[in-house]
């Protein structure tokens, strides 16, 4: 039995990040249900009116009719935080939860991925660099680089749009997978923190994604964890902002950039391997060795390891 063919129509010409991700979201949803999906890029009103789904063209927002445009005079609605909906947001609002099979994960992706794309498409600039002249390369820039240059004809657009929607599908699926694992990791790490003996030092025995939880616990200064790549162990400094390298404390200055025998001599830890010159991570071959490094770092920073969590 042949799969039922579903047609998604979006506008022809130059594409943008919101229509790329809106189409990719519909493809994910429909292909998971076993449909064969055809994407047509056109502004022909006859083709638009006969499509099964219409994205970012047609000036109609009506999820019952499967129309998801936001270019009509009054737009297609604004979120509570003031960010207007673009086509990606409209499609995600309708189908995101069913794709994720999880309301919480769908909401996280709305915050992490959908809302920023909708904001950019509506002319809201919230990206800025702390350094003058530093180019912040984001999803909008990835989309832009796949548009045709002045030397290329318009034929390249359909080919590149197909490539980008495949990339967007992979990214959405990866976001879902990563966020589900992160949620489980957050629960595990939170439980360890609740039961741990010490307040300033967190010791975990698995390569959990601990950063988000630790950023909300200002009393944690260092984290000891296994390094999955080579079987060594690391002590890392904790941060208030996981997107920043501003640590709550730094590792000792005399460790910076030191390796192997030199670091072992300075610290007295025989299996010490390395301390980054940025003083945010140090490595030893054993758990015991890296815990010794952590104790030394806290001592040199004038911090007590014996503060109880209760």
Of residues 304 and 106, more confidence is placed in 106
Q: Does residue 251 fall inside a structural domain?
A: yes
Domain boundary among 180, 207, 227: 180
Q: Distances from the Cα of 107 to the Cαs of 112, 122, 184, 287, in angstroms?
A: 9, 20, 16, 38
Domain boundary among 180, 214, 232: 180
Domain count of the fold of the chain: 2
Kindly state whether residues 276 and 154 are assigned to the same domain. no
> What percent of the chain is modeled with pLDDT above 90?
73
Q: What is the pLDDT of residues 184-216, one digit of tens each?
A: 999 999 999 999 888 899 999 999 999 999 999
| pLDDT score, position 198 | 81
Q: What is the pLDDT of residues 233-277, one digit of tens each?
A: 999 999 998 888 889 999 999 999 999 999 999 999 999 999 999
User: What contacts 24+ positions apart, CB below 8 Å, involve 213-217?
Assistant: 213/186, 213/189, 214/189, 214/238, 214/239, 215/239, 215/240, 215/241, 215/242, 217/193
Kindly state whether residues 25 and 60 are assigned to the same domain. yes
How far apart, in whole angstroms, are the C-alpha atoms of residue 7 and residue 21? 16
Kindly state whether residues 130 and 213 are assigned to the same domain. no
Question: What is the average pLDDT across 221-227?
Answer: 95
Kindly state whether residues 140 and 209 are assigned to the same domain. no
Tell how strand 53-55 and strand 5-10 pair up: parallel
Q: What is the pLDDT of residues 288-307, one digit of tens each?
A: 999 999 999 999 988 887 65
User: Would you place residue 228 in the very low, low, confident or very high pLDDT band (cuts 50, 70, 90)?
Assistant: confident
How far apart, in whole angstroms, are the C-alpha atoms of residue 215 and residue 117? 26
How far apart, in whole angstroms, are the C-alpha atoms of residue 308 and residue 296? 18
Q: Does residue 190 fall inside a structural domain?
A: no
Domain boundary among 180, 214, 233: 180
How far apart, in whole angstroms, are the C-alpha atoms of residue 140 and residue 122? 12
User: Would you place residue 308 in the very low, low, confident or very high pLDDT band (cuts 50, 70, 90)?
Assistant: very low
Question: What is the average pLDDT across 45-65?
Answer: 94
Kindly state whether residues 279 and 221 are assigned to the same domain. yes
User: What contacts 24+ positions apart, CB below 8 Å, involve 119-128?
Assistant: 119/83, 120/17, 120/18, 121/16, 121/17, 121/18, 121/86, 121/87, 121/88, 122/83, 122/84, 122/86, 124/83
Kindly state whether residues 78 and 151 are assigned to the same domain. yes
DSSP for 165-220? HHHHHHHHHHHHHHHHHHHHHHHHHHHHHHH-S-SSEEE-SS----HHHHHT-TT-
List residues bridging with 8 in a β-sheet: 39, 53
60 token code pair? 């109609």
Kindly state whether residues 276 and 173 are assigned to the same domain. no
Q: Does residue 100 fall inside a structural domain?
A: yes
User: Would you place residue 154 in the very low, low, confident or very high pLDDT band (cuts 50, 70, 90)?
Assistant: confident
Give Cβ neighbours of residue 247 (< 8 Å, ≥ 6 apart): 237, 238, 239, 279, 280
| pLDDT score, position 128 | 57
| pLDDT score, position 205 | 94
- Residue 22, classified by CB atoms within 10 Å of its CB into exposed (0-12), middle (13-18) or buried (19+), is buried
Least confident stretch, 15-24, 91-100, 237-246, 279-288: 237-246
Q: Does residue 161 fall inside a structural domain?
A: yes
Kindly state whether residues 107 and 243 are assigned to the same domain. no
* Domain span including residue 163: 5-180
Q: Is the dihedral of CA 85, 88, 90, 95 positive or negative?
A: negative
- Biggest CA–CA distance in the chain, Å, is 78
Backbone φ, ψ for residue 143 (5° rounding): -60, -45
Q: Does residue 117 fall inside a structural domain?
A: yes
Backbone φ, ψ for residue 274 (5° rounding): -170, 145
Q: What is the mean pLDDT of the chain?
A: 90
Kindly state whether residues 205 and 281 are assigned to the same domain. yes
């Amino acid at each position: 039995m042949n799969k039922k063919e579903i047609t998604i129509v979006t506008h022809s010409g130059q594409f943008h990040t919101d229509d790329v991700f809106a189409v990719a979201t519909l493809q994910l949803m429909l292909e998971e249900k076993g449909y064969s999906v055809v994407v047509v890029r056109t502004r022909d009103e006859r083709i638009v009116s006969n499509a099964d789904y219409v994205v970012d063209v047609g000036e109609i927002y009506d999820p019952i009719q499967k129309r998801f445009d936001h270019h009509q005079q009054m737009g297609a609605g604004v979120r509570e935080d003031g960010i207007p909906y673009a086509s990606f947001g409209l499609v995600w609002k309708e189908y995101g939860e069913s794709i994720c099979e999880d309301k919480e994960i769908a909401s996280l992706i709305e915050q992490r991925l959908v809302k920023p794309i909708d904001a950019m498409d509506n002319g809201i600039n919230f990206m800025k660099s702390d350094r003058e002249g530093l180019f912040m390369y984001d999803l909008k820039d990835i989309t832009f680089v796949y548009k045709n240059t002045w030397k290329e004809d318009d034929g390249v657009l359909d080919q590149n749009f197909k490539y980008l929607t495949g990339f967007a599908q992979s990214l959405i699926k990866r976001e879902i997978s990563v966020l589900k694992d992160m949620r489980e990791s957050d629960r595990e790490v939170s439980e360890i923190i609740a039961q741990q003996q010490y307040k300033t030092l967190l010791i975990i025995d698995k390569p959990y994604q601990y950063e988000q939880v630790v950023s909300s616990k200002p009393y944690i200064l260092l984290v000891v964890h296994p390094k999955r790549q080579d079987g060594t162990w690391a002590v890392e400094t904790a941060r208030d902002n996981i997107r920043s390298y501003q640590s709550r404390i730094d590792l000792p200055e005399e460790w910076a950039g030191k390796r192997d025998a030199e670091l072992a001599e300075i610290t007295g830890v025989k299996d010490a391997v390395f301390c980054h010159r940025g003083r945010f991570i140090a490595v030893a071959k054993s758990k015991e060795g890296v815990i010794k490094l952590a104790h030394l770092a806290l001592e040199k920073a004038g911090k007590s390891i014996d503060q109880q969590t209760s």
